[in-house]
A and B are shown apart, each in its own frame.
Chain A
Amino acid sequence: MAVSDARISLPDSGTSTPQVDAASAAPAAGSGTRPMIEFNSITKRYLENQPAVENLSMTIDKGAITVFVGPSGCGKTTSLRMINRMVEPTSGTITVDGKDVSTIPAASLRRSMGYVMQSAGLLPHRTVTDNVATVLRLNKVPRAQARHRAEELLDVVGLSARMGKRYPSQLSGGQQQRVGVARALAADPPVLLMDEPFSAVDPVVRAELQQELLRLQRDLAKTIVFVTHDIDEATVLGDKVAVFATGGRLAQYAAAEEILRAPVDDFVANFVGRDRGFRHLAFSTADSVPIHPVRTATESERGQRSAQQSRPPSDAAGWVLAVDDAHRPLGWISPADGSALLPGGSLFHEGQTLRRALDAVLSSPAGLGVAVDDAGSVTGVVKAPEVLAAIENARRQREGGL
């Protein structure tokens, strides 16, 4: 489903997906990356004999999004919180930018990292602006300057300055999470820690927030550690994905594409789920799928059409795509009932992935996936057999290329 938010003039969040989820996976794992956070043999035991995290060693790349994913209770939050010392490890060391975190005073370490949590993270007794300004104020930035910066940040995360005067309880869940992100960014920290930041909002808002995080990340290039238990979210956001197994064992740590394509063991395979084959389509572009012309009708043309009901359909399928004056899709008109407008399926933005192409085809009542350009105008349709052929082609290339 394509989501757009015109007010903050995103390029178009839907269109930008493939560049991120397809292209970023391989290069991130390449040699151009530098380590930012290192776990060295980290073990954490809350209780004597059950480790929450066991002998964890991993390197988190600078300027990339690393996702911790895994079932509930597997130690994701614990691992994340050891980075900013909200939890102290039982043994082992963590370094950030080469420095052992245990040597940095906890409060100043935390102020050098943004932290976003699932919910309840905003201070209910402070206005939105003051919430965003919190860390700046803790860093002794003068009030007026901190507020000014906070208002800029509200704009960055797509909230109007008017919202700044409200209290958190007066915002929707999605807006609160945006404020949470703005607050984490306020002091411009090099590291962002995010613990299931989008899991309490509905799927549409979640998808929108994910795209905006990717958009922000393109400009900011922070080192982001993102915790989720949603494998879809992990593969959309993660340059690299760390799959944790119960007991704090790191089961697989690789690019998202690789996790879906080649899970190392049954645990990972089960965790990424039955749909992993389908999800993996998000890593192949649909450039080879041909786009066919489609019959369209604007509102005025539709008026004429119903006036002369008896005109026979000119192409085989007989479906007509209703469009507005800017040639943006409105819905389908079935050959059987020429007057009703059937709601359309998801849109396939040109340049997007096979996953989007397949979904556009499957969700369309006409069996034709509507392709649109950056402006959202219809450019044609993609057809199911050709999408499937492209999928098979991509698979064969992968097998051959390995």
Chain B
Amino acid sequence: MAWLVANFSEVLSLAGLHLYQSVVPLLISVLIAVPLAQLARMNKTLRGLLLSAGSILYTVPSLALFVILPVILGTRILDMANVMVALVIYAVALLLRSTLDALESVDDGIRQAAVAMGYKPFMRFLTVDLPLSVPVLFAGLRVVSVSNISLVSVGALLGIGSLGSLFTDGLKRDFVTEIVIGIIGTLLLALLMDAFLVLAQRLLTPWLRNDGGLTKATAESNSDDEPAVVSA
């Protein structure tokens, strides 16, 4: 405890670095995965290709990727960009599948209604397909967010700052407290991100929120909108 108090600002800034390295790739991966998934939906061959590429990429060991990327990208091995690019690759590989599921979860009848009303394809995708796929999409995002936060720690092995640095440092100095704090910190960060995503999803899907309203609405409808049957 005393150690944490003494090094609190240090731990906090490592947590900040950790968050940065996991959130930025998450955002970028969404921007890549969503259009890719939509392309995959439109073309059967492309779909198979992208899905296999995704699963193959995901099996590449993270440490190997961290070491190879600088060679490919021309960055220095200690560059934070290496970690982030690697995380984008993993995240896209993971998200592709779930984004595809998300887009396919949209009721085809609704899509056809949108077409019948005169939506052009791109507008329809942006304002109908995408919002309606948010619930399934966010399920995927939550998995990727946890995966990212755990993968960022691996970068610490190469000396890139994150909460993982507390494990490497603690191991080197044989100092258990630091390792435990690293673990707890990482867990807290993952939980925090998850809570944030749950909240964001709720805000983005107001139409799914009124469970109470549903029963109320049905009850009301009986009283004021069903027809009165007159007979004698």
For chain B residues 80-119, which have a beta carbon within 8 Å of chain A?
107, 109-110, 112-119
Interchain residue pairs with CB less than 8 A apart (19) = A86-B112, A106-B118, A108-B118, A111-B118, A115-B113, A117-B109, A123-B110, A124-B132, A124-B207, A125-B131, A125-B205, A138-B117, A138-B123, A166-B213, A169-B214, A171-B221, A344-B232, A345-B231, A347-B232
A190 to chain B, nearest CB (A): 15
For chain B residues 217-232, which have a beta carbon within 8 Å of chain A?
217-218, 221-222, 224-232
Which one, B115, B123, B229, B230, contacts A86 given CB within 8 A? B115
Contact B221 A124 (CB under 8 A): no
Number of contacting residues on B, CB 8 A? Answer: 35
With A124-B110, A170-B218 already in contact, 16 other A-B pairs whose C-beta atoms are closer than 8 Å: A1-B229, A84-B116, A86-B116, A106-B118, A107-B119, A111-B118, A124-B207, A125-B131, A160-B224, A167-B206, A170-B213, A204-B226, A328-B230, A329-B231, A345-B231, A370-B232
- CB neighbours of B207 from chain A (8 A): 124-126, 167, 169
CA distance A343 to B218 in the complex (A): 28
- CB neighbours of A329 from chain B (8 A): 231-232
Q: Find the B residue at minimum CB distance from A12.
A: B230
- CB neighbours of A1 from chain B (8 A): 229, 231
B128 contacts partner chain A, Cβ-Cβ < 8 Å: yes
Which one, A125, A134, A167, contacts B117 given CB within 8 A? A134
B210 contacts partner chain A, Cβ-Cβ < 8 Å: yes
B207 to chain A, nearest CB (A): 4
B173 contacts partner chain A, Cβ-Cβ < 8 Å: no
Interface residue stretch chosen among A3-11, A25-33, A275-283, A383-391 = A3-11
Contact B232 A138 (CB under 8 A): no
CA distance A171 to B218 in the complex (A): 7
- Please judge, given known A-B contacts A1-B229, A321-B232, whether A171 and B217 are in contact too, CB under 8 Å: yes
- CB neighbours of A111 from chain B (8 A): 117-118
CA distance A3 to B128 in the complex (A): 37
Q: Find the B residue at minimum CB distance from A345.
A: B231
Q: Mark A365-394, 1 if CB is under 8 A from B, else 0.
A: 000001010001010000000000000000
A35 contacts partner chain B, Cβ-Cβ < 8 Å: no
- CB neighbours of A122 from chain B (8 A): 110, 113
A205 contacts partner chain B, Cβ-Cβ < 8 Å: yes
For chain A residues 330-365, which have a beta carbon within 8 Å of chain B?
330-332, 343-347
- Please judge, given known A-B contacts A107-B120, A123-B110, A170-B213, whether A347 and B227 are in contact too, CB under 8 Å: no
B138 to chain A, nearest CB (A): 14
Contact B230 A4 (CB under 8 A): yes
